[in-house]
């Protein structure tokens, strides 16, 4: 179940209040400009207040914006993206089960390349291997992007690594924190996970119809659930300050666009090189490897151009991992 601004009317309300922040905007004017009744305007105002937007109501005269929190409103994000294809259309939810589920549904209906789905809160966010993704309200970036790359399905794993490289760069430049990548797509700060990526696709044997890339970033969480504190963290916890989600999101979408065209123009090897340059896990890291069939300790030995991770078992045998997960052995 999703409740949001997909009809763009609440987003229009935000834009109208921001544009007229120095004055009181009459209720009839708001209703007319966004195309709803005055009672619906009041309902929308209450929804925005629930998100922390401070709006002063003036009896018989209208509403005035007092304070706008770090809300990921499309009307505030899109102008910062310039001519980016990724983010040309943004669908924003206050609350949804999963942005990936919403994006997959939009892709099935023909949503264009670069469509972005955002949520302030997810009730059933998911990660790799069917795990849940903790999605605290208005604290993180919960985004899914529809891509329609002219690539064969065999190249799809590089889209996951491409996204990890983009997230690494965006978090690093925005926060200045020490950022790492754990194969294939976990972004870490001080050894703990701050960003996860889930890639899902609609494909035939020789053709990708659509790829949906889900990205979850723990930005301003004050604390993580007790069961996650040893393995996950937030930018706020590590940096001891609050970060602008909107600034980070814009940086992420711009970086993702650059890396997308790098993949198309120069191929997977270019992405693999950048991934390896940003990861302490690429080579020489002692790790615990988990696959569907076994668990063992090995040492990483480099990244293949196709994104596979080379590992060397303790008996000296080497192989290339194309699936599974790794954890550092401390």
52 and 169 together in one domain:
no
9 and 50 together in one domain:
yes
* Chosen domain end from 42, 67, 92: 67
**What does the pLDDT look like over 262-305, one tens digit per residue?**
999 999 999 999 999 999 999 999 999 999 889 999 999 999 99
**What distance in Å separates the CA atoms of residue 197 and residue 143, rounded to the nearest whole number?**
10
CATH number at residue 111: 3.30.930.10
CB 161 within 8 A of CB 184: yes
* Chosen domain end from 277, 300, 317: 277
145 and 246 together in one domain:
yes
126 and 163 together in one domain:
yes
Q: What is the full DSSP assignment across 110-169?
A: TPPTT-EEEES-BSS-B-GGG-B----TTTEEEEEEEE--S--GGGHHHHHHHHHHHHHH
**What distance in Å separates the CA atoms of residue 308 and residue 300, rounded to the nearest whole number?**
11
Q: What is the full DSSP assignment across 151-162?
A: --GGGHHHHHHH
CB 76 within 8 A of CB 52: no
46 and 155 together in one domain:
no
Length of the chain: 330
**Predicted pLDDT of residue 260:** 98
79 and 193 together in one domain:
yes
First to last CA, the chain: 42
**Predicted pLDDT of residue 6:** 44
Region class of 191: left (phi > 0), else alpha (psi between -120 and 50), else beta: left
**What distance in Å separates the CA atoms of residue 320 and residue 330, rounded to the nearest whole number?**
23
Intervals of the chain under pLDDT 50: 1-6, 129
196 and 113 together in one domain:
yes
Q: Which domain holds residue 315?
A: 283-328
127 and 252 together in one domain:
yes
**Predicted pLDDT of residue 2:** 44
**Predicted pLDDT of residue 126:** 63
CATH number at residue 304: 2.30.30.100
* Chosen domain end from 247, 262, 277: 277
What is the 8-class DSSP label of residue 62? E
**What distance in Å separates the CA atoms of residue 68 and residue 56, rounded to the nearest whole number?**
12
202 and 293 together in one domain:
no
208-218 sheet: strands from edge to edge = 3-4, 90-95, 116-119, 140-147, 208-218, 192-203, 186-189, 179-182
**What distance in Å separates the CA atoms of residue 324 and residue 227, rounded to the nearest whole number?**
22
7 and 115 together in one domain:
no
**Predicted pLDDT of residue 3:** 42
**Domain count of the chain?**
3
Q: Rounded to two decimals, what is the model's pTM?
A: 0.87
227 and 249 together in one domain:
yes
Separation of CA 130 from chain center = 17
57 and 93 together in one domain:
no
Q: What is the full DSSP assignment across 18-50?
A: HHTTTSPBPHHHHHHHHTS-HHHHHHHHHHHHH
CATH number at residue 18: 1.10.10.10
Does residue 82 have a cis peptide bond before it, meaning omega lies within 30 degrees of 0?
Answer: no
């Amino acid at each position: 179940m999703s409740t949001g601004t997909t009809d763009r009317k609440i987003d229009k309300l935000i834009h109208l209040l921001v544009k007229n922040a120095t004055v009181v905007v009459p209720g009839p004017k708001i209703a007319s400009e966004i195309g709803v009744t005055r009672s619906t305007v009041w309902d929308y105002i209450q929804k925005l207040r629930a998100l922390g937007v401070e709006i002063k109501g003036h009896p018989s005269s209208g509403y005035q914006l007092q304070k706008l929190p770090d809300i990921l409103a499309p009307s505030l994000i899109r102008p910062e993206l310039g001519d980016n294809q990724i983010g040309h259309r943004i669908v924003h939810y206050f609350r949804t089960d999963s942005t990936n589920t919403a994006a997959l549904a939009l892709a099935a209906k023909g949503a264009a390349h670069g469509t972005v789905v955002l949520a302030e809160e997810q009730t059933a966010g998911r990660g790799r291997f069917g795990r849940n993704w903790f999605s605290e309200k208005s604290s993180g970036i919960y985004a899914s992007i529809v891509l329609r790359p002219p690539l064969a399905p065999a190249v799809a794993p590089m889209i996951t690594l491409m996204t990890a490289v983009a997230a690494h760069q965006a978090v690093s430049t925005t926060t200045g924190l020490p950022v790492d990548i754990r194969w294939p797509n976990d972004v870490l700060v001080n050894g703990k996970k701050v960003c996860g990526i889930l890639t899902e696709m609609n494909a035939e044997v020789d053709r990708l119809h659509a790829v949906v890339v889900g990205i979850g970033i723990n930005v301003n969480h004050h604390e993580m659930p007790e069961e996650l504190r040893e393995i996950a963290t937030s930018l706020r916890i590590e940096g001891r300050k609050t970060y602008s989600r909107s600034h980070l999101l814009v940086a992420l979408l711009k970086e993702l666009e650059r890396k997308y065209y790098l993949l198309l123009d120069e191929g997977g090897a270019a992405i693999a090189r950048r991934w390896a340059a940003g990861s302490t896990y690429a080579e020489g890291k002692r790790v615990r490897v988990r696959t569907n069939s076994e668990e063992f300790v090995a040492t990483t030995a480099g990244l293949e151009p196709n994104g596979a991770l080379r590992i060397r078992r303790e008996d000296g045998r080497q192989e290339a991992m194309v699936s599974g997960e790794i954890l550092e052995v401390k």
